[in-house]
Amino acid sequence: MRIDVLTIFPEWFAGPLSASLLGKADDAGTLDLRVHDLRAFATDRHRTVDDAPYGGGAGMVMRADVWVTAAEAVWNDLPPEVTVGRAAPAAELAYVAGGARPRTLLLTPRGRPLTQAFARELAAEPRLVLCCGRYEGIDERVHDLVATDEVSIGDYVLFGGEVAAAVVVEAVTRLVPGVMGNAASPEDESFSSGLLEYPHYTRPADLRGHGVPPVLTSGDHGAVERWRHEQAVALTRARRPDLLDDPGRTTDVAPPAG
């Protein structure tokens, strides 16, 4: 999968993403992650990407012209030199703002909530472009002409879309075969079953007097499976009852067979 990120803080992505699994996926060639500096698509000497809001008010708004130029360059795999300073897109461009374009996500609190189901949908795409906004907002024409989707990672406000974009990259790429090291996707975990995960234990068997549930060392695999399912249901009922009556749930919560 190819993912392009547009941001005024490209250096921000070097740390969190390359430090984790994603660096390995990148090396293995299963993920092609490219981070672009939005300022490279500004036209003035100071590489300005924002301006005062029409209608007045406090704060600055990100300029739509810079975003459209940047998005067209990234969509069409062109360097800034080719697209910056043009009033209209070059006739030969396959992807033009407002028309057909790769799935282009604008991270914003007003977007479609990111869920495991949405992440699965995005993981099926050959390409994603993630647009990270900053300042008080983004010119509405970026929403209209650049974004194919607006995505929210939760009901809170961040300084910018960078953290939200990193969350999308992690949630999506771990579902792409080859990224986690195994060919199959990790479908045995929280939210894949529609439940929170059961509790896990490993050695030591006794930690300062705190033991391990005896069923886990009983050798009875059927009993272990039933216990884990009961625990998952009980945890979900206690912590996230909303998940149990979610009509959008894609998987069953019935106990394992046997």
Residues in contact with ligand JF5 by the rule CB under 6 A: 107-109, 133, 137-138, 152-154, 156-158, 160-161, 164
Q: Whole-angstrom Cα distance, residue 51 to residue 164?
A: 23
Compute the least distance from the CB of residue 175 to ligand JF5, in Å: 19
Q: Whole-angstrom Cα distance, residue 258 to residue 170?
A: 35
Compute the least distance from the CB of residue 127 to ligand JF5, in Å: 21
Q: What share of the chain is helix, strand, coil (3-state, %, to 5)?
A: 35, 15, 50
Q: Which is nearer to ligand JF5, 60 or 93 (CB)?
A: 60
CB atoms inside a 10 Å sphere around CB 246: 14
Q: Which is nearer to ligand JF5, 154 or 211 (CB)?
A: 154
User: Would you call the peptide bond into 177 cis, given omega within 30 degrees of 0 as the criterion?
Assistant: no
- Give the distance, in angstroms, between the CA of residue 201 and the centroid of all CA atoms in the same chain: 29
Q: Which is nearer to ligand JF5, 83 or 108 (CB)?
A: 108
Compute the least distance from the CB of residue 135 to ligand JF5, in Å: 7
Q: Whole-angstrom Cα distance, residue 231 to residue 235?
A: 6
Compute the least distance from the CB of residue 143 to ligand JF5, in Å: 10
Q: How many residues does the chain have?
A: 258
Q: Which is nearer to ligand JF5, 118 or 215 (CB)?
A: 118
Compute the least distance from the CB of residue 111 to ligand JF5, in Å: 6
Tokens of residue 141, six digits:
């024409």
Q: Which is nearer to ligand JF5, 1 or 107 (CB)?
A: 107
- With contact defined as beta carbons under 8 Å apart, do 168 and 158 qualify? no
* Residue with the CB atom nearest ligand JF5 in the bound state: 158
Compute the least distance from the CB of residue 204 to ligand JF5, in Å: 40
Tell me 207's DSSP state. B
Q: Which is nearer to ligand JF5, 77 or 140 (CB)?
A: 140
Q: Whole-angstrom Cα distance, residue 65 to residue 71?
A: 10
